[in-house]
Structure 1
Amino acid sequence: MDIWTQQSVEYVSAAGEAWLASASEFPRGMRALWEARPWAPSVLPCGRAFDVISMPSLFGRRVLDELWASGPGCGPVAGYRGRTLLFVQPGAAPRLRRLLAWEEWARDVPPLLCHGRGDAVTVPPLQRMVHGPDSPGQGSGRWIVAPDEREPWLPGASVVLWACVRAAREPGVGVPAEPVVVTGG
């Protein structure tokens, strides 16, 4: 049986839904929208309940492995358009941006998008039902670690920084070198 004939369902728990809604200026309105369209992605502001660090998918997978291997684990994580979206403590995005600005860190870690207060991110649907290629919600991302608590543990900037540095320093990982240009003759 192929993936299109199998039915799979991914859910955000009721407590996780309440947490996500708390990011909105109008939580009741968000919950009403999700009740009517649980398969639709949503746009939520950063800075109130969470910030988001967006990274290339492969690097994001290595960062998640580091977070789990070093003990703290992670909070909610989503995949969206080839990126891993790591939900972090409010205020962590600008702090991580400053920490990564240090030349020592910037050369090892691929470019990260740090979304904090004033930014918004697209989050995957609360519920994803896969019936076929034309199902609603396809291509709208997915939860890698779905929100399941009213107050999930979210990593801070320093935890994410060290996970990124360790992930970047794995053999065969890192930022591609600048191309060498040979001139003259």
Structure 2
Amino acid sequence: MDIWTYQTVEYVTAAGEAWLASASDYPRSMRALWESRPWAPAVLPCGKTFDVISLPAVFGRRVLDELWASGPGCGPVASYRGRTLLFVQPGAAPRLRTLLAWEEWARDVPPLLCHGLGDAVTVPPVQRMLDAPDSPGAGRWIVAPDSREPWLPGAAVVLWACVRAARGQGAGRDRVSNGA
């Protein structure tokens, strides 16, 4: 299955917006900004509500396909400036960085940017303007936040999706090769 078949919403729900705003030290100010300018991207800190793993776009797509094909799916995912931003559990970024450095499979996985406590990321607008052209640098939601408590994968789940994507051993391909 292709991750793009799961994309049904290009905007953030009110509950998803509340979740995103909770990452800020000033959630009410973030909500006020989005109320007045819903098409504006925002910068949010990592480490409290979520961490973010930034992957090269093509590899990111393969990782998302793996997350969906292997069962757990994923939480919010965005595309920004040619990168795929995977929102993960707080604390997962430094753990993933450590696992990739420690294990032998790190050579198979392209360099990832792991944003955790002390880092901030630019998130796409909560709503997309209807007449806005698609541009490579513009951010957009691939899987928009839709609840106050979205499921976020941990470091181990992301690690295995990365390894399988890097080695081309997708869950769907394994079933076919095993005769299932």
The TM tier, using the shorter chain, reads 0.7 to 0.9
CA distance in 1, matches of 2:149, 2:112: 25
CA distance in 1, matches of 2:54, 2:103: 20
By how many angstroms is 1:138 displaced? 8.7
Q: Is the 8 A contact 1:50 1:88 kept in 2?
A: yes
CA distance in 2, matches of 1:118, 1:140: 24
CA distance in 2, matches of 1:27, 1:103: 38
Name the structure 2 match of 1:21.
21
User: Match of 2:81, as an amino acid?
Assistant: R
1:134-183 deviations in Å (ceiling 9; x for gaps): x9x99430000000010000000000000000000017xxxxxxxxxxxx
Secondary structure (helix, strand or coil) at the match of 1:130 reads: coil
- The structure whose residues are more often helix, as a share, is 2
TM-score, normalization by structure 2: 0.85
CA distance in 2, matches of 1:160, 1:90: 13
For structure 2, the 5+ residue unaligned runs are 1-8, 170-180
Query: What is the root-mean-square deviation of aligned Cα atoms in Å?
Result: 1.8
Match of 2:143 among 122, 139, 145: 145
Name the structure 1 match of 2:157.
159
Secondary structure (helix, strand or coil) at the match of 1:43 reads: strand
Give the percent of matched residue pairs that are identical in Structure 1 and Structure 2: 84
Secondary structure (helix, strand or coil) at the match of 2:151 reads: coil
User: Match of 2:78, as an amino acid?
Assistant: A
1:1-27 deviations in Å (ceiling 9; x for gaps): xxxxxxxx8310000000000000000
Structure 1 segments (4+ residues) deviating >2 Å? 137-140
Secondary structure (helix, strand or coil) at the match of 2:148 reads: coil
By how many angstroms is 1:105 displaced? 1.9
Q: Which of these two proteins has the greater Rg computed from alpha carbons?
A: 1
CA distance in 1, matches of 2:106, 2:136: 35
TM-score, normalization by structure 1: 0.83
CA distance in 1, matches of 2:107, 2:157: 18
